Chains A and B, each alone.
Chain A
């Protein structure tokens, strides 16, 4: 109410944004723009880096791997996260608090520590293979690391919290009365689930799925430790081109493709989200 006092005394406030703005311009915008520009200038000006990337089976295979793993990870996390988020929303709050503590602990535990655990668990003589053999599911150890199976398991482990938390937020806000109404109108549990609860939870599933998919597309650490060099994903390709081959043009081109896909999916998410808010 006294705000007539404030503009003159405080200024517009733009000055306070300057440190962050300058920092990001100098060490984020300019470097990223520089990297992307090298994709069309090195080794010579032109689009030949993109032609190589999109024209060879080896590189297309890497993009295919990236989309395949990200898609699988998204699907599996969504299938697990929906019942979990639903249970968390209606459980006694003390039990839910324990589960939340476990989710947060896993989320904040060092990424390398978690990936290391899976490298040990999934190796040929590892616990997972020994349990599968002891229960008679397999006769001899199966290869679970250095391939996309290992990458998918490791990534599901890392991405689960990012699917559960937004989904929980959406389900928690659903009015129980709506489901009671469905029951009163004679809906069975299966019908209420399919035709009321799932549609109401869809915005949460969609936003969690987009987030997990986009994060998975650009992931580097877990794919390179659990996947090995024969099953590269696009982030590993960028690093390999820049670090081992010193081919900045190709690295920049792969980075540009990843960037465009990422930003396009985020724009889609913002659109969907804002479309609902209105």
Chain B
């Protein structure tokens, strides 16, 4: 009876009520930022006395915001490609490999996800100070790749596990070389996993704050670093405008991910 919605009686309204309140709690702050970004109150009064596009104007008039967004996109794109490529190879080794200690290796590959990012950030910062990689694109890419890779490995190896390797064997038996079989049979079969891994890796890099604060220099910074430094000075509505654009991007990527899932189930 407790697992049947229709037989819960009065309890069902309590449960639905809690669920609705929680959904509002999660949703309202996001809608709140979107509303503020169009409000004309410099002091973020809500509801705003009037509406304006002035904050978006300020955002686009400042070349540093655009430059930061461009840097973020560039880093996230490189991280996405490398994370999927390295993650695919690692997943093939973990799922198909025949060597000892695969479980240990899998655990090791996932540790960057488990450790607090702040420890990785400080440790890499120290190492990069010695290597001269602080404030460089390479430094950003390496740092973001370390935290994106576990997610790519989880997603891709999950897809690989559901794919029957004997289909690849059949292709080899029909005359394909092992690499040909891999590229033309296995890769298309796990493409949804690769796309999801790509989206995850891009978003992780794009949103990364803690690592980016440590990798950034006055001349090279990503969008989250720009938001962070601005936030520490004051709560300007320009940040609401920037945040709204970020929310928009999230929605677009979520819809893309949902479409990929739908395509897979067909």
Q: Is the CB of A19 within 8 A of B90?
A: yes
B4 interface residue (CB < 8 Å to A): yes
Q: Is the CB of B93 within 8 A of A13?
A: yes
Closest Cβ of chain A to B71, distance in Å, is 16
Contact with A along B97-128 (1 / 0, CB 8 A): 11100000100110110111111101111110
Complex alpha-carbon distance, A83 and B12, angstroms = 10
Complex alpha-carbon distance, A28 and B15, angstroms = 45
Complex alpha-carbon distance, A55 and B93, angstroms = 47
Q: Which residues of B contact A13 (CB under 8 A)?
A: 92-93, 96-99
Q: Is the CB of B254 within 8 A of A27?
A: no
Q: Is the CB of B26 within 8 A of A102?
A: yes
Q: Which residues of A contact B163 (CB under 8 A)?
A: none
Instruction: Pick out which of these stretches binds chain A: B17-25, B53-61, B73-81, B189-197.
Output: B17-25
Q: A24-B108, A90-B5, A189-B2 are in contact. Are A35 and B203 (CB under 8 A)?
A: no
Give the interface size bracket for B toward A.
Answer: 35 or more
Contact with B along A72-112 (1 / 0, CB 8 A): 00000000100110111111100000110111111011111
Per the 8 Å Cβ criterion, residues 155-180 of A in contact with B are 157, 160-161, 174, 176, 179-180
Q: Which residues of A contact B250 (CB under 8 A)?
A: 105, 108-110
Q: Give the residue name and chain of the A residue nearest to B242 (CB).
A: A113
Complex alpha-carbon distance, A80 and B19, angstroms = 9
B259 interface residue (CB < 8 Å to A): no
Q: Is the CB of B108 within 8 A of A116?
A: no
Q: Is the CB of B116 within 8 A of A12?
A: no
A275 interface residue (CB < 8 Å to B): no
Q: Give the residue name and chain of the B residue nearest to A237 (CB).
A: B118
Complex alpha-carbon distance, A183 and B195, angstroms = 46
Q: Is the CB of B146 within 8 A of A27?
A: yes
Instruction: Pick out which of these stretches binds chain B: A43-51, A119-127, A133-141.
Output: A119-127
Q: Give the residue name and chain of the B residue nearest to A36 (CB).
A: B123
Q: Which residues of B contact A160 (CB under 8 A)?
A: 22, 25-26
Contact with B along A213-237 (1 / 0, CB 8 A): 0100111110001000000000100
Complex alpha-carbon distance, A248 and B125, angstroms = 11
A-B contact pairs, 15 of them (CB 8 A): A2-B173, A17-B89, A17-B90, A17-B97, A19-B86, A24-B108, A28-B112, A86-B15, A105-B250, A110-B207, A112-B227, A189-B9, A220-B118, A220-B210, A259-B115
Top-4 shortest CB links A-B: A218-B116, A13-B97, A113-B243, A17-B93
Q: Give B residues with C-beta under 8 Å from A.
A: 1-5, 8-9, 11, 14-16, 18-19, 22-23, 25-27, 29-30, 32-33, 36, 43-46, 86-87, 89-90, 92-94, 96-99, 105, 108-109, 111-112, 114-120, 122-127, 142-143, 145-146, 149, 153, 165-166, 169-170, 172-173, 178, 203, 207, 209-210, 224, 227-228, 231-232, 235, 239-240, 242-243, 246-247, 250-251, 253-254
Q: Give A residues with C-beta under 8 Å from B.
A: 1-3, 5-7, 9-10, 12-21, 23-24, 27-28, 30-32, 34-35, 38, 80, 83-84, 86-92, 98-99, 101-106, 108-121, 123, 125, 127, 157, 160-161, 174, 176, 179-180, 182-183, 189, 192-193, 196-197, 214, 217-221, 225, 235, 238-239, 242, 248, 251, 255, 258-259, 262-263, 266
